[in-house]
Amino acid sequence: MAQPIGPFPRPLAAGAIPGWAAALLEEAVRLDRQGRIGEAGERYHAIIGAEAIPGPVLAEALRRLGVIHHRRNEPRVARDLCNRSFEVASALADGALAAEALNALAGFEMETGALERAGEIYGRALALGGVSDEVRGRIEQNLGILANIQGKHEEALAHYEHALEACRRSGDERGCAYAYHNLGMVSADQKQWGKAEAYFRKSLHLADLLHDLRLRGLCLLNYAEVHLALQQYEHARRSAEEALGIFDELDTQLAKADAYKMLGMIFRETGRPALAESRLRTAIELAIATGALLSEAEATRELAILRQSVGRNQDALALLSTAHRLFGQLHAQVDLVDVAAKVEELESTYLGVVRDWGQSIESADSYTHGHCERVANYALAVAIELKLDEVDRTTIRVGAYLHDLGKVKVPHEVLNKAGPLTLKELEIIKSHPVWGLELLAGIDLPWDIKPIIRSHHERYDGTGYPDGLRGDAIPLSAQIICVVDVYDALTTNRSYRPAMTRDEALATMEDCRHWWRPDIFEAFLRAV
């Protein structure tokens, strides 16, 4: 889902102000809106320095100049100016202008990640007497965005609803359109597709009334996401293509990237991988060109899912690793998204891909069906017994799914041989840890699983392979996989013997407990 629209730091109108002063302010605001902030800044300066300037104009100019300094990354000056604006407005007992100043100050805090402080200042702004519905609408929208960044969906919905009511009362149709859009976005994040569609339809209707082409494009793109989720592919494709046409006309590269991503997903889901590949590639290129990390990360993830769907697991994993790194570089505040939720979602996609890949190896070895899944479950239980942290647990799960990756290179007849193996065949099997590493060469994985793949057949007493490591030279994660790997091998049917019961397996393992570090073996016993 795209970001919410906002934050909303500036008022739409300056209010009733004496002629000459209003003219000065109007000119400065016009330049400001055209993006000519150097010239606008000079005009605001002139207003602030002018004699006998009316208080409301002064407060307005101070705040607007503060916002310009904020955009120039001069936070101290920005804050000082807005604080002065607040003081001037307070002295005038002008609640609306004072609230505007606080709204701007809170926005600065939100964008630098001081979320609690931002919430507190927005709260003060709302509590001011005389706050107009127009200002209230904007503050509530910003509070909604703040809640959204923090992953508090219900709170975000409540704020957007309050924003909607305030905007309705003040006749601010654009504000209503944005509130509907953001309500639709949160509903879509909660997978409430029917609600989301209704909100986007209302926002779209207002966008058309206001001739706001950009908002129309955003609504159509969100529509496409809803219809894709509902598997209404033709509808989704038409919406996404119209959105792309609009963004092309407006020449907004970033929005185009998101439209291309959506088209790529639609083509992927409708079984047209070549078109999907091309659209997703374009999305990634556009996102890189505009420096949009979030869009790049999301398009890269979608391309990974495409590669997986055509069985190219290695490519899929490389792309997911890139997406993981990109998500890690996102800043919740600047990108207005709940980064933690994004990363969590990506990690579950990641686990899905490695699980699939692990299982695709098992099909070459019919006796070990379900082996990776069981090893992953046992290993996780041991990791929990050892009180390993979240990152280590994920490392062990991912490593468990892929630990025998190298077996794809072992010939079928060797892997499934019923009789005893020759020395040469044994050598081939013993190469699988190194072959596994070769398959992952060049992929910069987010979790350190390579030690698991290389060393999961090493033994504590130095009798393992491929490096004959001894004692603590064997990585902890590899030892954990080693012990549960042996247990699973003993308790499942093999081509050369039937499955042992749990107790038989544990008794057998007791006889060779010197293969594992004592505390790991103990944790394993507790876990099974």
Question: What CA–CA distances, in Å, run from 314 to 296, 298, 310, 437?
Answer: 20, 19, 11, 12
Residue closer to Fe ion by CB (options 41, 406) is 406
- Minimum distance from residue 487 beta carbon to Fe ion (Å): 11
Residue 92: helix, strand or coil by DSSP?
coil
Residue closer to Fe ion by CB (options 296, 404) is 404
Residue 497: helix, strand or coil by DSSP?
strand
Residue closer to Fe ion by CB (options 258, 485) is 485
Structural tokens at position 306: 């495409």
Classify the phi-psi angles of 10: left when phi > 0, otherwise alpha if psi is within -120 to 50, otherwise beta. beta
Residue closer to Fe ion by CB (options 265, 486) is 486
- Distance between terminal CA atoms of the chain? 42
Residues facing residue 494 across a β-bridge: 497
Place of tokens 């041989």: 417
- Minimum distance from residue 506 beta carbon to Fe ion (Å): 18
Count other Cβ atoms within 10 Å, centred on residue 168.
15
- Minimum distance from residue 430 beta carbon to Fe ion (Å): 9
Q: Where are the alpha helices (DSSP H) in 363-422?
A: 371-385, 390-402, 412-415
Residue closer to Fe ion by CB (options 172, 485) is 485
Residue closer to Fe ion by CB (options 322, 368) is 368
Residue type for position 1: M
- Minimum distance from residue 307 beta carbon to Fe ion (Å): 25
Measured distance CA(382)–CA(129) in Å, rounded: 59
- Minimum distance from residue 404 beta carbon to Fe ion (Å): 4
Residue 129: helix, strand or coil by DSSP?
coil
Exposure string for 30-43, b = 16+ CB within 10 A, e = fewer: ebbeeeebeebbeb
Structural tokens at position 434: 């190194």
Residue closer to Fe ion by CB (options 69, 432) is 432
- Minimum distance from residue 453 beta carbon to Fe ion (Å): 9
- Minimum distance from residue 423 beta carbon to Fe ion (Å): 19
Residue closer to Fe ion by CB (options 204, 410) is 410
Question: Do 296 and 319 contact (CB within 8 A), yes or no?
Answer: no
Residue closer to Fe ion by CB (options 100, 485) is 485
Residue closer to Fe ion by CB (options 338, 485) is 485
Count other Cβ atoms within 10 Å, centred on residue 70.
22
Question: Do 367 and 320 contact (CB within 8 A), yes or no?
Answer: no
Closest to 348 measured CA to CA, from 377, 314, 320:
320
Residues facing residue 497 across a β-bridge: 494
Question: Do 196 and 229 contact (CB within 8 A), yes or no?
Answer: no
- Minimum distance from residue 360 beta carbon to Fe ion (Å): 15
- Minimum distance from residue 348 beta carbon to Fe ion (Å): 23
Structural tokens at position 268: 């992927």
Residue 494: helix, strand or coil by DSSP?
strand
Residue 60: helix, strand or coil by DSSP?
helix
Residue type for position 322: T
Residue closer to Fe ion by CB (options 113, 468) is 468
Which residues form the interface with Fe ion (CB under 5 A)?
404, 485
Diameter of the chain measured on Cα atoms: 101
